A and B are shown apart, each in its own frame.
Chain A
Amino acid sequence: MKEIQYNKAINEALMEEFARDEKVFLIGEGCQVSSVETTRGLVDKFGKERVIDTPIAEMAIVGGAIGAATMGYRPIADLMYSDFLYAAADEFLIKSAQWRFIHGGRQSLPIVFLAAMGGYRKLGPDHSHCPYSVVLHHPGLKVVVPSTPYDAKGLLKTSIRDNNPVCFFFHKALIGYKESIPEEEYTIPFGQAVVRREGTDVTVVAASYMNHLALAAAEKLKDQISVEVIDPRTLEPFDLDTVLKSVSKTGRVVIVDEDTKRCGFAAELMAQIMEHAFDDLNAPIKRVCAANYPIASGPLEKYVLPQPEQILSAIRETAGC
C-alpha cells in the first residue's frame, strides 16, 4: 500500500492509461501544466502530440474530442472546471450523448470529460457547479463522482477504457485528501455503490464531497442514531439495488446532494425509491441540497450549499428524534 493524494491518484491513473494505450490523448486549456496538478508531468513523458494545450475554446475542445473519438482515438477533454462545459453545451450534452444513438449505434465515442466540480471554496457561481443533474437529463452520458483517492484512480481508469462518453467529475474540496491505495494496478467497475458505514436506523445517500459530510454527521450521531452511509460512486449507471437493500433495513432515507434542490439528482432518487420501495418506508424521504439560488460567492456561499448542521437535523427528523 502507498499513501496518495486525491489529485495525484487522478494523475497516476492518467499516467498508467497513457502508457497502456497510445490512442489516449488529452486536450484542454493549460493541461500541460494543470492548475490542480491532475495532468501534470504527462507532457514530459508522452509529448505535446498527446497532451494538447488549447486556447480558451470549449466548443473546439469538446467537439474536437468527439471528432477524434469517431475516428478511433480515445480523447480526454480536460475542461478544468465542470462549469465550463456549459460553454460547449451543444457539443457536450446534445452531440456526445446522442451521436451513437442517432446514427444507429454505428459508432462508439470513448471520451472522458475531466473536470473539477463543486463548491466549498467560495469561488462563486461560475466555478462551483455540480452539473451532473443536467448531464443525467441527457441519456448517453455516464457520470462518475469519486469521493476518495482509491475511487478516483480506479474509476478514472475504467472511464478511459469505457467506449462511451464519461463525465469524470472530481471534487475540488477533496483535492488535498489522502489515503492508502494498493501498489498494484486496479480498476473499479461502474454501477457499484459502497456502503461506507453500516447502520440500522437511517440510510443516507451522498456522493462525492457530500459523502464525507454524511460520514461526519453519522459519527456525531452514533450514540443516538445508527446511520448507514452509501456512496453511489457513479450516478449513471446508478446502483439502485444497494440503496433499496439498505432502505428495506432502515425504512428511513436522507439524500444529501450538493446540486440545486429543484429538479436535482436527489429529487430523481426520491422518486425512484418511492417507485420501488414505497412499502419499506416508515417516514417521508428527506433531502438536503443546495438552496434554489445561484451559488453565492464568498462568505454567503454557506447559505446556499448544504451545511453539516442541516444534515444532522435531517437525519434526526427522519429518525423521529
Chain B
Amino acid sequence: MKFTKSDLIKLYTNLVRARAFDTLAKKMLTEGKFISFYHEGGWGDAAGVGSTTFLRKDDVLSPHHRAHGFPHLIGKGCDPKVYLAEHCGRSTGCCTGIGTIHAAFEDFGIYGQTGILGSQFSFSVGWGLAAKKNGKGQVVVIHFGDGTVNRGNWHEAANVATLWKLPIVYVCENNGIAQYVSIKNSYPLEDLANLASAYGMPSVVVDGQDIVAVAEAVGEAVTRARAGEGPTFVECKTIRISTHGYGSPDYCDGGLRNHNDVEELKKREPIALFEKKLLKQKVLTREDMDKIKKEAEAETKEADKFCMNSPFADDPSIFDQYLYAK
C-alpha cells in the first residue's frame, strides 16, 4: 500500500496529538480533574493511530482501553475534547458525564466502550452482521490487548466471524504484559496471531511501533473485509513503558518489573522512530514537526480549558430517560 505525503503527515499529526492527549490525561488525573482512573498509553500508541487514521467515517470502531482509546478516536476523526470532558464528569462529555471512561460517537461508527474487556469480541459479531446486512462496504475494526484475547468470547466471535465471512479486522495490541502478568505467563506460543489460524482466519504480525507498517497491514485487512473476504487478525508488537493504571506500582509476575527491561523498551518510542523516517524521506522538516507538536499542545490546552469551563454532570432527573428508550 502506497501512502502519499499528506497521508504520512496525517499519521504523524494524529500520533503527536494522541501522545499530547495521553500526557494531558496523566496531568489531569494528578490534578484531580479526572473523576475515575486512567490507563496510560505507555508509548504503545502507534498501533491505535495507524489502524484507524484511514478508516471511513461509517466504519465501526471499538477502541482499546490503553490510553483510553484516545489514539483510536483521534485516528477516526472524533473530537477528543468531549471524551476528555467525559473523564472529568462534565455534562459536555460524549456521554453527558455519566460514563466517565466510556466513548460513544455513533456518527463515527463508535457505538460505545466496555469496561469488562472482551465484550468487544461478542459485539463484533453483531457489528459485523449489521455491516454486512447494510451492504455499504462498512468494516468493523476491533482493538484489544494480549491480555483480553485470553477471554473465551474471543473464541466464540472469531469462530463465527470467520465462518460467516464478517467484515472485521481484529487488531491485537500486544505489549507483552496484561495488567501485572507478562505474556510468558499467559500464552504458550510466540505470536498471538496463532489464535487466528485455528479458524483459518488470515493473520499478520507487524512491528506495532512502526506506524506505517501498522497502517499498511490494517489497510490490507480492511480491503479484504470490504471485498467480502472475511476477517483478519493483525498482531501489533508494541510496548508498555508504564504501569497498568497511572499511579499504581509497575508490578509484573509477582514482583516489580525489571527496570532494565523497561529502559530497553524505551528505545522503541514510536514518534522518534517515525520522525527519523520522515526526515530521511524529506516528508517533514524538524521545524514542521515542532509546529505540529505546538499545535497539538495548544489543542490539549484548549481541551483542558473546555473541560474546566463545562458544568459537572449533576442532574439525576435524566436517569429515567437514560434507563429506558421510549
Q: Measuring CB to CB, which residues of chain A are less than 8 angstroms from any residue of chain B?
A: 27, 49, 52, 54-55, 57-60, 62-73, 75, 88, 90-91, 94-95, 99-110, 139-140, 142, 163-164
Complex CA distance for A90 and B163, rounded to whole angstroms = 24
Complex CA distance for A95 and B233, rounded to whole angstroms = 25
Complex CA distance for A66 and B153, rounded to whole angstroms = 14
Q: List 7 A-B contacts (CB under 8 A).
A: A70-B123, A73-B126, A90-B118, A95-B119, A95-B123, A104-B95, A163-B324
Find out whether the CB atom of A106 lies under 8 angstroms from the CB atom of B95.
yes
Chain B residues with CB under 8 A of A109? 325
Complex CA distance for A73 and B96, rounded to whole angstroms = 25
Q: Measuring CB to CB, which residues of chain B are less than 8 angstroms from any residue of chain A?
A: 60, 93-99, 102, 104, 106, 111-112, 114, 116, 118-119, 121-131, 133-134, 152-153, 156-157, 159-160, 163, 318-319, 321-326
Find out whether the CB atom of B125 lies under 8 angstroms from the CB atom of A60.
yes
The closest CB in chain A to the CB of B117 belongs to A90
Find out whether the CB atom of A67 lies under 8 angstroms from the CB atom of B130.
yes
Find out whether the CB atom of B129 lies under 8 angstroms from the CB atom of A104.
no
Find out whether the CB atom of B152 lies under 8 angstroms from the CB atom of A103.
no
Complex CA distance for A163 and B157, rounded to whole angstroms = 25
Complex CA distance for A85 and B95, rounded to whole angstroms = 28
With contacts A60-B160, A68-B129 known, is A103 near B99, CB below 8 A?
A: yes
Report which residue of B95, B98, B122 has the largest number of chain A beta carbons within 10 angstroms of its beta carbon: B122
Find out whether the CB atom of A107 lies under 8 angstroms from the CB atom of B111.
yes
Closest beta carbon of chain B to A7's beta carbon, Å: 27
Closest beta carbon of chain A to B157's beta carbon, Å: 5
Chain A residues with CB under 8 A of B321? 105
Partner of B121, one of A58, A63, A139: A63
The closest CB in chain B to the CB of A164 belongs to B324
Closest beta carbon of chain B to A40's beta carbon, Å: 22
Complex CA distance for A62 and B160, rounded to whole angstroms = 13
Partner of A60, one of B131, B157, B319: B157
Question: What 12 new A-B contacts, CB under 8 Å, besides A67-B111, A70-B126?
Answer: A52-B129, A57-B156, A57-B160, A63-B153, A64-B129, A66-B122, A91-B122, A100-B322, A105-B322, A106-B104, A107-B325, A164-B325
Find out whether the CB atom of B104 lies under 8 angstroms from the CB atom of A103.
yes
Find out whether the CB atom of A139 lies under 8 angstroms from the CB atom of B126.
no
Complex CA distance for A170 and B321, rounded to whole angstroms = 28
Partner of B116, one of A69, A73, A90: A90
Find out whether the CB atom of A88 lies under 8 angstroms from the CB atom of B325.
no
Partner of B125, one of A63, A102, A108, A110: A63
Partner of A66, one of B126, B128, B159, B326: B126
Complex CA distance for A39 and B148, rounded to whole angstroms = 35
Chain B residues with CB under 8 A of A54? 160
Partner of B127, one of A67, A91, A139: A67
Find out whether the CB atom of B159 lies under 8 angstroms from the CB atom of A63.
no
Chain B residues with CB under 8 A of A100? 322-325
Chain B residues with CB under 8 A of A94? 116
Chain B residues with CB under 8 A of A66? 122-123, 126
Closest 3 CB pairs of A and B: A63-B122, A67-B126, A108-B325
With contacts A101-B323, A104-B96, A107-B106 known, is A57 near B126, CB below 8 A?
A: no
Find out whether the CB atom of B98 lies under 8 angstroms from the CB atom of A63.
no
Find out whether the CB atom of B127 lies under 8 angstroms from the CB atom of A104.
no
The closest CB in chain A to the CB of B96 belongs to A104
Closest beta carbon of chain A to B232's beta carbon, Å: 18
Chain A residues with CB under 8 A of B159? 55, 57, 60
Closest beta carbon of chain A to B321's beta carbon, Å: 6
Find out whether the CB atom of A60 lies under 8 angstroms from the CB atom of B153.
yes
Closest beta carbon of chain B to A297's beta carbon, Å: 27
The closest CB in chain A to the CB of B105 belongs to A106
Closest beta carbon of chain A to B220's beta carbon, Å: 24
Find out whether the CB atom of A70 lies under 8 angstroms from the CB atom of B157.
no
Find out whether the CB atom of A104 lies under 8 angstroms from the CB atom of B94.
yes
Complex CA distance for A90 and B117, rounded to whole angstroms = 10
Complex CA distance for A88 and B121, rounded to whole angstroms = 12
With contacts A57-B156, A94-B116, A164-B325 known, is A63 near B126, CB below 8 A?
A: yes
Find out whether the CB atom of A73 lies under 8 angstroms from the CB atom of B119.
no
The closest CB in chain B to the CB of A56 belongs to B156
Closest beta carbon of chain A to B132's beta carbon, Å: 9
Chain B residues with CB under 8 A of A99? 112
Partner of A91, one of B96, B98, B119: B119
Partner of A71, one of B99, B111, B160: B111
Chain A residues with CB under 8 A of B123? 63-64, 66-67, 70, 91, 95
Complex CA distance for A228 and B124, rounded to whole angstroms = 49
Report which residue of B124, B129, B131, B318 has the largest number of chain A beta carbons within 10 angstroms of its beta carbon: B129
Closest beta carbon of chain A to B68's beta carbon, Å: 15
The closest CB in chain A to the CB of B118 belongs to A90
Find out whether the CB atom of B323 lies under 8 angstroms from the CB atom of A88.
no
The closest CB in chain B to the CB of A163 belongs to B325
Complex CA distance for A142 and B157, rounded to whole angstroms = 26
